[in-house]
Chain A
Amino acid sequence: MSSIKINLLLFSIVSICSCSGNSKQSTVENRDGQKLYTMQVMPYKTFAMDDNTSQTSAYFQLFTIDDTLRFTMYSNTAVRKNILIFDLSTGKVVDSVRLHKEGPNAIYNNVVAYYIRNMDSIYMYDYWQHTFILVNRKGEIVNRINLSEKFLAENSPEVTPSSPYPCMDMPIHRINNTFILQGMTQKVTDMKKVPTVTALCNLSDTAVSVRFVNSYPDIYGNIKNLFKHWGVFSYLMVSYDLNNKGEMVLSYHADDHISVYDIDSNTTRRYFAGYSKKDVISQMNDDRISDLLQTMECTQYANIHFDTYLNLYYRFVYHPFYDYDINDRDTQVQNLSIVILDSEFNKVGEYDLKEKTILGRGAFVTKEGLHIQTLSDDDDFMKFIVLKPIKL
């Protein structure tokens, strides 16, 4: 009898698991979709940097300026601060807007993104003050539109306002006078209010208003525990893009489905857009080590980009990765795949990148294909992996 007890003791010693909480997986059976497309790796795309420009930028976006599509980038270094405008073909700077670091036209470091309506109407966005700062081509401030009162929770009876942080996978888009600011929810203090991730800001000359829309899907669990169980940029910030029908296509990082929000009708549709293998999603334990573990060792959906040339969507998915050094950020990089959807949001392909990148948040689409930023060994260039979809 005593030997049985000891045997039971031996078998009952188990390893300690650092991920805890609920695991949730999709019940979608056919995760493969149709296999119509894959990606072809094209030569790298580069943009030339001068001595005062860093290859890593907080924000870049494509804009049509004077009828020509340009790559634009926010450059903020110790020496100067400006918006650089590049020729997409040559990768060289063709224009710039010099911003002021001090004085009455100073643009401070809480300005993280911008929208170029035209060269004399550039909307810089200060995320900390919830303020649009309108500058002209000389970097002179011509107007400020402070929205901070609109973002106060007490001024919003039915929803918890969003907390926008525009960046490359959450760009500032505009439809007429409505600017889309995307991010995550503010902390939920009233459980009766629906948490929202999108702020639709109408900045017409006559009136300024903000409408908060898009909540979290069920996989995120109890809204009371959002910040306890999910990392900020890894899961709570919601990537999106705008398609050619004026719809927001949202990629929630914990969810293998996407949401398509029609701004005019205020309606939402949902579609499966997940990877072929089942997701590994776990809530964390509300501490910073678990945040890193959740980011690295779970499935994480990310960017979604609409290809207006081919009417396809590209959704990023990062896979669980365990062979990293907790002290070395350079090793904390997951493998990336692209899920390809057609114009009706049917899954039509999937592609696993061979190359890893720590800068995958920065991506854009041109007629040459999907461009994903990767670190360049040469500081004189900003470098992008280029993938072109091809039919199987």
Chain B
Amino acid sequence: MRKYFYGMVALTIVAIAISNVSLNKAKNSAHTSLLNIEALSGCEVSSDPSKNTGYCVKKTGSNEDVCVDSSSSGAVRCSGNY
């Protein structure tokens, strides 16, 4: 009976941990798409993909998003500022 009880507690903790991981992934995907929409507000995106050589990033300490020539790979691509 005691072994059964400890086993159930352990399984419960593992299940909670797994569901937290899934929740964070889902939250992150939703947040990523929201951030994609916001990030385009200050950056120009060309209809010609070859011109989108820049990366749209938040300019900290301001309310702007701007297009820069280098960034981490996760940034939305852009062709300058609008």
Contacts and interface: CB of A to CB of B under 8 A. Distances in A.
B47 interface: no
Nearest to B36: A288
B80 A110 contact: yes
Interface string A299-338: 0101100000000000000000000001101000000000
A16 B14 contact: no
Interface in A155-210: 163, 165, 167, 169, 184-187
B74 A286 contact: yes
A109 interface: yes
Contact of A232 (B7, B14, B71): B71
Contacts of B64: 56, 58
Contacts of A16: 20-21, 24
Residue among A169, A231, A300, A359 facing the most chain B CB atoms (10 A cut-off): A231
B74 A186 contact: no
Given A10-B9, A232-B68, A286-B73, A358 B63 contact: yes
Main secondary structure of the interface of B (DSSP, over half): mixed
Interface in B1-52: 2-3, 6-7, 9-10, 13-14, 17, 20-21, 24, 27-28, 31-32, 34-35, 38, 44
A107 B49 CA distance: 24
A128 B79 CA distance: 9
B82 A109 contact: yes
Interface centre among A3, A186, A361 (most CB of B within 10 A): A361
Contacts, number: 119
Contacts of B82: 109
B63 A326 contact: no
A2 interface: yes
B61 A360 contact: yes
Interface string A1-23: 01100100110010010100000
Contact of B72 (A18, A287, A302): A287
A93 interface: no
A214 interface: no
Given A232-B57, A233-B57, A13 B31 contact: no
Given A13-B17, A16-B21, A16-B24, A291 B72 contact: yes
Contacts of B68: 163, 165, 184, 232
Contacts of A234: 60
A327 B62 contact: no
Contacts of A287: 72-74
B81 A288 contact: no
Contacts of B9: 6, 10
A112 interface: yes
Closest 6 CB pairs of A and B: A361-B61, A288-B74, A287-B74, A187-B70, A6-B6, A360-B61
Given A13-B17, A302-B61, 8 more contacts: A6-B7, A10-B13, A165-B68, A288-B75, A295-B60, A327-B31, A359-B61, A362-B61
